[in-house]
Chain A
Amino acid sequence: MGAITVDKADHLYWLGRYSERVYTTLKLYCDGYDSMLDADEDFYKALCVMLDIPNIYASREDFLQRYGYDRQDCNSIISNLARAYDNAIVMRDEIGTETLGYIQMAVYSMDAAVASDAPVILLQKVVDHLLAFWGCVDDQIDGYCIRGIMKFGKRVERLDLYLRFHMDPHEVRRIYHRMVPRARESQLPVNRAAMEALEGYMSAPELDYDGALGALMGILHV
């Protein structure tokens, strides 16, 4: 097998990011859905702030429909899954048909959820396929660098989301420490100054979420 081209590295990285974005936001969406049933009808407004997306939704119902399943809404979960698929489908030769199959099945499960009268219960299948996808990445992809790039993307995305959600600092730092070795393994040209700045934020007694997020956004110019 030859080397990985720049474009392919880009696709692998974003495949990692988008699949993680779908996974984490799906869990958030399902929790929010539950909360909005009877506890806090306007919870979606806070979710929009947490996700750093414009609140274009007219109501709770509008949010639940469009943020989940509207292909025209570029921030929706289904759109992010489509982006994961777009990056995966061109990587069959690197990640393998078996691994790609799990992203394909996540897409089918999402389509089935959209067509259902009870979509939320079916979203669990999307989550299952994404988890299986990452299991397959570990099990089937021999290329250290290929796996490293995807996992680096995954960890960057999770850290990005956790910083936006102002998650517990211990949890954020745990994710950060899982991301650092992936940066090395990916062999991507990481911006050292940004990495050092991020390290500084992570080791400070008080976590500056916005500062850390800014540094994170600068670690890779992809």
Chain B
Amino acid sequence: MHDICKEADAINEQLARYGVKFGIYKNGEFREQLFPFDAIPRVIGAEEFEYLEKGLKQRVTALNCFLQDIYTDKRIVKDGIIPPEFVYASSGYLPPCEGVRAPKGVASHISGIDLVQAKDGAWYILEDNLRVPSGASYPLIARGLCRRASPETFRERKIVDNRDYAQLLRRTMDHVNVGGDNVILTPGRYNAAFFEHSYLAELTDSVLVTGSDLFVENDFLYYTDMGGQKCRVGAVYRRISDEYLDPMSFLPESVIGVPHIFDVYKKGNVAIINAPGNGVADDKGIYYFVPKMVKYYLGEECITHNAPTYLPYYPEDMKYVLDKFDEIVIKDVAEAGGYGVVFGNKLTKAQKADMLALIKAQPRRFIAQDVIDFIDIDIMENGERVPRKADLRAFVLTGEDVTVWKSGLTRFSRDPDSFIVNSSQGGGFKDTWVLSR
């Protein structure tokens, strides 16, 4: 069989040609960096994917139930399943969303669920990303190039074609569109994921807009075309954070949002994908409760496994954290992108003392997890196969039905001693093959 790895340079050259980059700020300066692609794929067998698919659908369905509930009836709090402070102290909980029901009962239309596989083969969920998860575009564009570089590989193996992502996304947008154009709202070209915003706009035939292109008039959302005509917007796939979305409802200093867009949304005159307020469900503290959500809302046992997680908020978990500090990883619930992650055994004595004091002072701010010794995946480095840590971001799209994209973004660390795979921390990506049999 033809070895696709031999074509890695050619594929990376094509990715560079198409501007497959991400933006990064270092020392106050914006730079665009290529996202290094490794041609050795992550391969997921049909049966294994079937299990993941079932679990992810269940998980996202429960999370959508939670989001509907938490801003309306709050049954899960009233019934004592989740302590109220974990909801209301979450930075992702948005009081303005109180009483708002997401159109068609879907708040998380595009969910990015991060998983790792342990050495015993078990998959663990690391985190749920329900706000603006990014990354689908990378394996999407890479697949087309891989197929060109090594057609034999795709002829001889039964690899599910993943190039339907744009259609799935378009269908998801159309499902909630209330009349008008689909737009993708980007903070602009200096955003880290701007390549993805513009690429998905191209593939879904959506209008790529910035906040200054949109305006609200008489409770509807519009943009103006070059002839001065108003064009109504029916669905906004926003790629900006909740707090910047609408300066009238959230952060008043936001200059990248759209004044009053949230009012239009509340009146049901535009769909916002993903819905504002989703941050409460992908909070690292709430993550602990997801298996309980599945049981509560769906009456089922949770299929997916959380990484063993401890909340210093609970005295018994605090004791565990203090006893096992050198064996666990501490995560600041307010941070993302690989930041705010501390491995106990990597700290000096003084740093450890400071961290413990911080955890005791602000127990709600942190979660602790056992370090999962997840499997290494080979990458090519200087012509040799070397093992590196890698995770998987699976994409779950919820529209008329819940669909797990038969692929995903596999990110790897290039540092042999690091578990952190984020692109912003220097990692690369791989294609994820799902086999059809």
Q: Using CB atoms and an 8 Å cutoff, list the residues of chain A in contact with chain B.
A: 1-9, 86, 89-90, 92-93, 96-97, 100-101, 104-105, 108, 187-188
Contacts and interface: CB of A to CB of B under 8 A. Distances in A.
A92 B231 contact: no
Contacts of B225: 2-6
B227 interface: yes
A93 B141 CA distance: 15
Contacts of B141: 97
A92 B203 CA distance: 10
A93 B188 CA distance: 13
Given A4-B226, A90-B189, A101 B201 contact: no
Interface of B: 16-19, 141, 181-184, 188-189, 194, 198-199, 201-202, 205-210, 212-213, 223-227, 229, 231
A1 B207 contact: yes
A97 B18 contact: yes
B201 to A, nearest CB: 4
Nearest to B198: A92
B207 A5 contact: yes
A90 B229 contact: no
B313 to A, nearest CB: 45
Nearest to A88: B19
B19 A100 contact: yes
Contacts of A187: 226-227
A3 B202 CA distance: 14
A139 B202 CA distance: 17
Contact of A104 (B18, B183, B213, B231): B18
A43 B315 CA distance: 82
24 contacts: A1-B206, A2-B206, A2-B223, A2-B225, A3-B226, A3-B229, A3-B231, A5-B207, A6-B224, A7-B210, A89-B198, A90-B208, A92-B198, A92-B199, A92-B201, A92-B202, A93-B198, A93-B202, A93-B208, A96-B202, A100-B19, A104-B18, A108-B17, A187-B226
A2 B199 contact: no
Given A93-B208, A104-B17, 8 more contacts: A1-B206, A2-B183, A2-B206, A2-B207, A3-B229, A5-B223, A90-B189, A93-B206
Given A89-B189, A92-B199, A5 B209 contact: yes
Nearest to B182: A2
Contact of B198 (A90, A104, A105): A90
B17 A101 contact: yes
**Residue of B182, B198, B205 most packed against chain A (CB within 10 A):** B198
Main secondary structure of the interface of A (DSSP, over half): helix
B35 to A, nearest CB: 14
Nearest to B230: A3
Contact of A89 (B16, B19, B212): B19
Contacts of A93: 184, 198, 201-202, 206-208
Contacts of B202: 92-93, 96-97
A93 B205 CA distance: 8
A5 B229 CA distance: 9
A28 to B, nearest CB: 27
A101 to B, nearest CB: 5
A105 B17 contact: yes
A2 B189 contact: no
Nearest to B231: A3
The 6 A-B pairs at the shortest CB distance, nearest first, are namely: A3-B225, A93-B201, A2-B181, A92-B198, A2-B207, A9-B226
A89 to B, nearest CB: 6
A101 B19 CA distance: 7
Contacts of B181: 2-3
A101 B207 contact: no
A59 B139 CA distance: 50
Contacts of A100: 18-19
B198 A5 contact: no
A8 B226 CA distance: 8
Nearest to B200: A93
A5 B208 CA distance: 10
Given A5-B207, A92-B199, A93-B202, A101 B18 contact: yes
A8 B202 CA distance: 14
Nearest to B228: A6
A4 B223 CA distance: 9
Contacts of A92: 19, 198-199, 201-202, 208
Contacts of B224: 5-6
**Residue of A8, A9, A96, A97 most packed against chain B (CB within 10 A):** A97
A97 B208 CA distance: 14
A6 B207 CA distance: 13
A50 to B, nearest CB: 33
B270 to A, nearest CB: 14
A6 B231 CA distance: 12
A213 to B, nearest CB: 26
A7 B186 CA distance: 14
A2 B226 contact: no
B415 to A, nearest CB: 27
Contacts of B212: 7
Nearest to B214: A5
Nearest to B195: A92
Nearest to A107: B19
Contacts of A108: 16-17
A84 B196 CA distance: 20
Nearest to B233: A2
B227 to A, nearest CB: 7
Contacts of B19: 89, 92, 97, 100-101, 104
A115 B416 CA distance: 32
A97 B199 contact: yes
A203 B269 CA distance: 55
**Residue of B16, B141, B207, B231 most packed against chain A (CB within 10 A):** B207
B192 to A, nearest CB: 14
Contacts of B16: 104, 108
